Structure 1
Amino acid sequence: MDNLIRFSDSIELDEEQENLGDFFYQISEVIPAILCVFSANLDKVFYVSPSFERIFGRSCEKLYQNPKLWFHYIHQEDRQRILEIEKTQFGEEYEINYRIIRPDGEIRWMKDRVIPIKGKSEKVIRILRFVEDITENKQIEEALRDSFQRSVDIVKAIPSGLLIYQFVPEDKFILIDSNPAAERMINININDYRGSEIRDVWLNADSFGLIDKCLSVINNGETIEIDDLEYRDERFEGSFRIRIFRMPANQIGIALENITELKKSDEMLAQAYALGRIETVDTLIHNIGNAINSVTTGIGTLQEILSNKRLTRYISSLANAVKAHQDDFISYITNDPQGQKVVPFILALSDDLEKQEEELTKIVNRVRDRAQHIADIVRTEKLISGKGIYRKQINLQKAINDAINVLQESIKKRNIEVSIDCELAPKEILIQESQFHQMLINLVKNSIEAIDDLYKLKSNDLDTSKPSINIKCYADDDNLVISVVDNGIGIEKDKLEAIFRPGYTTKESGSGLGLHSVANFIKTCNGHINAISEGLCKGTTMQAVFPLSSVT
């Protein structure tokens, strides 16, 4: 194009020269842009290249017939501006951008270079227009502009802070920009601190070698991260996670995240977990105590039976009678009135021995079951007491059964029916075992207590159906749902969220940390818990929701 312009500038035309068609035709055949030659007052078109029809979608013939159509094809929002420029810059070379509308309604962007062609008297005799379709370039430009603006908006909106420093000679770093989050974190106004050095912003920068770290990033290009910086000066303080990285043009970025509240939350979570564990251990001890009482009762009954020598005395009396009449035993049991009682006595004694054997067997079995129950409780307690933080594969159904076993005494005492359905759930899940076991125990224990609370009420609205706890596990879209449903006391609708807050309880001796620790554990697994209830005396559904991606 520049060669063409230089060539057109070099030609000198006489005012009477009108036919430049051959000249421009040869040029227009080798370039994709539009070449158009107008008269000086734009009332005549001497030449328009064939590419006009391809770009404008209009007939060249009609333009020859009516040159004013050129401006009619320009978008109405740009037309007046272009006409004003044509007037004010007549006789000068200039470049303008505008939009045109094709017959199909498509809008295209044009870059129009206008070159006046003068005769020997320096009078403008022709107007040469060189028009390029720059629509694609405009679209790219707008996309880049939008992308840049989105990037700016994102940086401004993100909760992490960002400080940008320019490296200058003498190993100095000058603050050139920041986002609002950084200004809030370090308590500055960028307009007051732009152009200041690192030590002006970080008054105690030397305490953790910030400048040396920034120099290292500039020299080596490697990002430096500080996971937990406890920082304090007269303007701001807190716990920060910092990332220092290199940017173009000898700049560095300092990304910072205030983790003060996160650390406090972690401490509260650990405390809630510990206190929640105490509650669970208390439940375990209570259930072990119940099981031991059952074992003690069984052993006491066994001891009483064994110490009662009634059957032994009966057998001894029989033995003495047989011994005394061993020479005439048949005659004795046949003819002697006392001897005739021997056979009925033996039959009755046999029945007594059989009944005693059955009772002893039941007692021994009950003691064995209670002893196994104690062993199961102790095994579960070990799981809950586990100090490991790593996740492991566990059988979901077995984990639920273990939780039910721990609370078996409480369940039997209240005659609660328990059902477990894991048909539509993964057989195994990957999770932190001890905390998962504690979660299950807390949820089931909460249902047992809800059933207790219901039956303490004396109301006509009571659900007279048998107390029940139904546990259902299933995969729903991208989540694993563990649903614990009871027909207990229920929850008032305005309390459905409050029950997960630390310290919230409706029980005189409750700590209010059981469900709180459950919610915290599920949250650490990127899940959430829902409490669903239609109100008092309507039962409750607890839904623990885990992303499948986090547990499989």
Structure 2
Amino acid sequence: MGIKDRVLLIEDFEDTVKILKKLLEINGFEVDTALTLAEAYQKLHSTTPDVILLDINLPDGSGLDFLTELRSIYPDIPVIMLTAYTEIENAIRSLQHGVDDFIPKPFDSSYLLHSIAKAVEKHKLKDRLKKSEKFRIIGELASGVAHDFNNLLQSMNVHLMLLKDSLSSPEKAMEYINALEDVLENAISVCNRLNSMGRKQDIDLTVVELAQLVRETVLLTKAKWYHEPKKRGKHISIETDLKKDVYVKVNPAELREVFTNLIFNAVDAMDSSGEIKISVKKDKNLAICSVEDNGTGISQDVIDKIFDPFFTTKENGSGLGLSISFSIIQRFNGDISVKSIPGKGTTFMITLPCSKPAK
């Protein structure tokens, strides 16, 4: 028996709850219920539903206000609004708040079931596409790590041969042993960087120093911006201007994913050799990070759609990299913008609220 799709029903009229719960369970859904928004928040803290049925008016608040807050934490969970005919105007407004559909009361059972099934399928498709995009990125990173490891292993082999030839000289042997230790530390660092990129992403946020996270990402992506272009006769360099002690509260793995996307895009924008500049600075209570390239640039009509899901100008692109990046930065209460001059280059600017360093 397959895993059932989970529905969170947020409705204060108990008779409606009983009817809907029975209807959905008969049709193969797992149903959880909440009579108030406070109860709904508790349910969401413990489990993530595949779709939410939300009444527009609840005893402890407005469904529209709840929807706005929900979208800042869970931007992708489908929401279907339940509303009386007298509240149709509010229901239409809810579409502007990111609701997937609204169902007037008294509801038509077949339409309700169709709407839920469509929302769940759309959600699953988006989730699969996001995962495939992440796997693509990790695949490219893994290729780079393999390259780094090959270099490290060759270095270890050379130092081992030198060590064998210098056993009669303790001082020389110790010099090669110390060099081997450095190579091993570099190998461990490579492993840790890849592990941090693929680590499970939790909702909990952590205070990190932005400059350190950027440095890690630059190292992690070196195969993409240095080794691969070099094989094709291109030279791409990254210059950094990273102010220290700029702290932000984020999910480190997700923010690395954002910077990885921006670096990859900058490399793809260069037909020949070029330069990427990454800066980190603090302006009052904001952390500001820019990723600038001197590539082909982007036209204004593309900029207008660049963060839209599935929009891409790449032949084999999914159109999700920048859309995912946009969602991640918004979830951290930040902003991401882009400026470009065709033929000159492109600059992506990320702003995030500053945080105090962890004790």
Q: Normalising by structure 2, what TM-score?
A: 0.58
What is the distance in 1 between the residues matched to 2:159 and 2:191? 25
Q: Does 2:219 match 1:420?
A: no
1:389 aligns with 2:213: no
Aligned partner of 2:258 in structure 1 is: 439
Kept in 2, the 8 Å contact 1:391–1:431? The answer is yes
- 1:399 paired residue number: 213
Distance 1:255 1:511, change over 3 A: closer
Question: Quick one: distance in 2 between partners of 1:518 and 1:551?
Answer: 24
| Aligned ranges 1:97-116 → 2 under 5 Å | none
Q: C-alpha displacement at 1:517, in angstroms?
A: 1.5
Distance 1:409 1:478, change over 3 A: same
Moved more, 413-422 or 491-500: 413-422
| Counterpart Cα distance in 1 of 2:126 and 2:334 | 15
Contact 1:531 1:540 in 2 (8 A): yes
- For the residues of structure 2 that align with 1:390 and 1:500, how far apart are their CA atoms? 25
Residue 534 of structure 1 corresponds to 341
1:239 aligned partner: 53
1:484 maps to 2:291: yes
SS in 2 for 1:401: helix
Contact 1:395 1:427 (8 Å CA) reproduced: yes
- Are the equivalent residues in 2 in contact too, given 1:276–1:513 (CA < 8 A)? yes
Q: Deviations over 1:172-229 (max 9, x none)?
A: xxxxxxxxxxxxxx9xxxxxxxxxxx98xx98354379xxxxxxxxxxxxx9435289
In 1, the alpha carbon distance for the partners of 2:321 and 2:264 equals 9
Q: CA offset at residue 293 of structure 1?
A: 3.1
Q: Does the CA contact (< 8 Å) of 1:421 and 1:471 recur in 2?
A: yes
Superposition deviation, residue 534 in structure 1: 0.5
Residue 338 of structure 2 contacts residue 348 of structure 2 at CA under 8 Å; is this kept in 1? yes
Cα gap change, 1:273 to 1:524, in 2 (>3 Å): farther
- Contact 2:145-2:194 within 8 A present in 1 as well: no
Determine the structure 1 residue equivalent to 2:91.
none
Correspondent of 2:19 among 187, 207, 223: 207
Gaps (5+ residues) in structure 1? 1-185, 187-197, 210-222, 230-236, 247-253, 310-356, 456-465
What CA distance in whole angstroms lies between the structure 2 residues aligned with 1:369 and 1:407?
21
1:404-443 Cα distance to aligned partner (Å, 9 max, x none):
11122344434433222233x7532211121112112222
Q: Residue 289 of structure 1 aligns with which residue? A: 146
* Counterpart contact for 2:248–2:355, Cα < 8 Å: no
- 1:397–1:411 CA distance, 2 compared to 1 (3 A): same
Q: Tell me the distance in 2 between the aligned counterparts of 1:483 and 1:281.
A: 23
Task: Identify which range, 367-376 or 397-406, moves more after superposition.
Answer: 367-376
Give 1:448 deviation, angstroms.
2.3
Aligned-pair CA distance for 1:403: 0.3
Shift of residue 530, structure 1, vs aligned partner = 1.2
Report the equivalent of 1:129: none
2:298 partner SS: coil
Residues 1:399 and 1:256: Cα distance change in structure 2 (over 3 Å):
closer
Counterpart of 1:227 in 2: which secondary structure? helix
Instruction: Work out which structure has the larger RCO, using CA pairs closer than 8 Å and 6 or more positions apart in sequence.
Output: 2
| Contact map agreement 1:397 1:422 (CA 8 A) in 2 | yes
Q: Structure 2: which 5+ runs fail to align?
A: 1-10, 22-34, 44-50, 68-78, 81-97, 101-118, 166-171
Partner of 1:47: none
- Which residue of structure 1 aligns with residue 350 of structure 2? 544
> Shift in Å at residue 271 of structure 1?
4.8
2:306 aligned with 1:499: yes
Give the RMSD, CA atoms, in angstroms. Answer: 4.5
Distance 1:477 1:276, change over 3 A: farther
Task: Say if 1:302 and 1:243 are closer, same or farther in 2 by CA, change over 3 A.
Answer: same
In structure 2, what is the equivalent of residue 275 of structure 1? Answer: 132
Identity among equivalent pairs (%): 18
1:245–1:507 Cα change, 3 Å: closer
SS in 2 for 1:293: helix
Report which of the two structures shows the higher radius of gyration computed on alpha carbons.
Answer: 1
Give the drift of 1:275: 3.3
Q: Is the 8 A contact 2:140 2:224 kept in 1?
A: no
TM-score, length of structure 1 as denominator length: 0.40
Match of 2:4 in 1: none
Structure-1 separation of matches of 2:135 and 2:341: 31
- Relative to structure 1, the CA distance from residue 551 to residue 275 in structure 2 (aligned partners, 3 Å threshold; closer, same or farther) is farther
CA–CA distance in 2 between the matches of 1:428 and 1:477? 12
* Cα distance change on mapping 1:430 and 1:508 into 2, 3 Å: same
Give the match's secondary structure for 1:501. Answer: coil
Relative to structure 1, the CA distance from residue 538 to residue 443 in structure 2 (aligned partners, 3 Å threshold; closer, same or farther) is same
Distance 2:160 2:246 in 1: 45
Residues 419-470 of structure 1, C-alpha deviations (whole Å, 9 max, x = no match): 22233x753221112111211222222222223xx21xxxxxxxxxx62211
Supply the distance in 2 between the matched residues of 1:274 and 1:386 (Cα, whole angstroms): 12
Displacement, 1:296?
A: 5.1
Output the CA distance in 1 between the equivalents of 2:20 and 2:57. Answer: 13
Amino acid at match of 1:416: I
Residue aligned with 1:417, SS = strand
